[in-house]
Amino acid sequence: IPEIPEIDFGQWGDVVVEELNRLRQVAAKNFQRSWLNIPHVTQHDDADITELEAFRKAQKAVAEARGTRLTPLPFLLKAAAYALREMPQFCASLSPDGKSRILKNYVHIGIAVDTPDGLMVPVIKDVDRKGLWELAVECAEMAEKARTKKLKPEEMKGGCFTISSLGSIGGTYFTPIVNSPEVAILGVSKADMKPRWNGNEFEPRLMLPLSLSYDHRAINGAEAAKFTVLLSTLLGDIRKLLL
C-alpha cells in the first residue's frame, strides 16, 4: 500500500513527539492486519432491553450481597454464546489459504477492555456453561487484571468472538474491527429510551444499539442479519436463553 510520507509538523507550530508504548504498537499492527485482510461489513440493530434492565436493577441488592456488580455485559455474553451455538458459522475461523473453515465446538468470548496503556482483550472461557453471576465476577476480575497489567498471555488467547462494549461511555453505533482470526465482533453502544410503536401507540422502551462487524468471506449478509435479530430477541426476553 502507498506509504504515508513523513512530515515535519514543527514547521507549522509547536509539537510534542510521544513514543507509543508496546501495547499500542501491537494493537495498531493487529488492527491494520485485520482491516487489510478482512472485507468488513457492519450490521446494526436495536435490542429492546426494557425488561432485561428491570430484572438487572432488581438484582442490585443481591449483587451487593455477593460483592459484585451485574452490568449488561454478562447478559450480552450469555446471549452471544447462545447465538454462537445456534449459528456456528460465527464461532469459526477461516484457514489462511481460504479453502476451509474451522468450526469451534467451544464458546470462548473476548471482552475489549480499555486501559490507560491501551486496549486489552481478555477471553472468558466456556461462556455457554457459566451463569450470570459467575460471568459478572469473571468479567470484573479480567477487567481489573487488564487494567493492572496482570493478565497472563494464555488469558488473552483462544477467543471465538469478541464483544466491545462502549455502553458505559456513550455513542450510538460504531463499526468495530474484527479481531482476526475470529470472523465477527459485536459492538455495543449506550442504551437509550426511544419511542416504539406497539400497534396502537408509541411507548417509551429502552433500546440497546448493537453493531455486528463480520468477515464477508465467512459470513453473508442474511446470516449477519439473522444473528443480530436472534441477539435482539434473546436480549428482549432473556427467558429465551433457557430454551
Residues labelled catalytic: 216
In this chain, which of 38, 43, 68, 72 binds ligand CAO, going by CB under 6 A?
72
Provide, rounded to whole angstroms, the least separation between the CB of residue 73 and ligand CAO. 4
Burial class, 6, CB count within 10 angstroms (exposed 0-12 / middle 13-18 / buried 19+)? exposed
Q: How far apart are CA 73 and CA 138, in angstroms?
A: 11
In this chain, which of 91, 112, 160, 184 binds ligand CAO, going by CB under 6 A?
112
Instruction: Give yes or no for residue 188 binding ligand CAO (CB under 6 A).
Output: yes
- What are 192's strand-pairing partners? 207
In this chain, which of 80, 84, 127, 191 binds ligand CAO, going by CB under 6 A?
191
Q: Please identify the residue of the shown chain whose CB is closest to the bound ligand CAO.
A: 167
Helix crossing, 221-236 with 50-58: angle to 10°? 40
Name the one range near ligand CAO by CB under 6 A: 77-85, 113-121, 149-157, 231-239.
113-121
CA triple 150-156-158, angle to 5 deg: 155
Q: How far apart are CA 102 and CA 117, in angstroms?
A: 33
Query: Residue 161: helix, strand or coil by DSSP?
Result: strand
Instruction: Give yes or no for residue 236 binding ligand CAO (CB under 6 A).
Output: no
Residue among 211, 238, 243 nearest 53 (CA) = 238
Instruction: Give yes or no for residue 119 binding ligand CAO (CB under 6 A).
Output: yes
Instruction: Give yes or no for residue 117 binding ligand CAO (CB under 6 A).
Output: no
Provide, rounded to whole angstroms, the least separation between the CB of residue 119 and ligand CAO. 5
Provide, rounded to whole angstroms, the least separation between the CB of residue 118 and ligand CAO. 9
Instruction: Give yes or no for residue 208 binding ligand CAO (CB under 6 A).
Output: yes
Binding positions for ligand CAO, 137-166, rule CB under 6 A? 139, 143, 164-166
The phi-psi region of residue 188 (left if phi > 0; otherwise alpha if psi is between -120 and 50; otherwise beta) is: beta
CA dihedral 243, 128, 82, 175 (to 10 degrees): 160
Q: Which residues bind ligand CAO (CB under 6 A)?
A: 69, 71-73, 111-114, 119, 139, 143, 164-168, 188, 190-191, 208
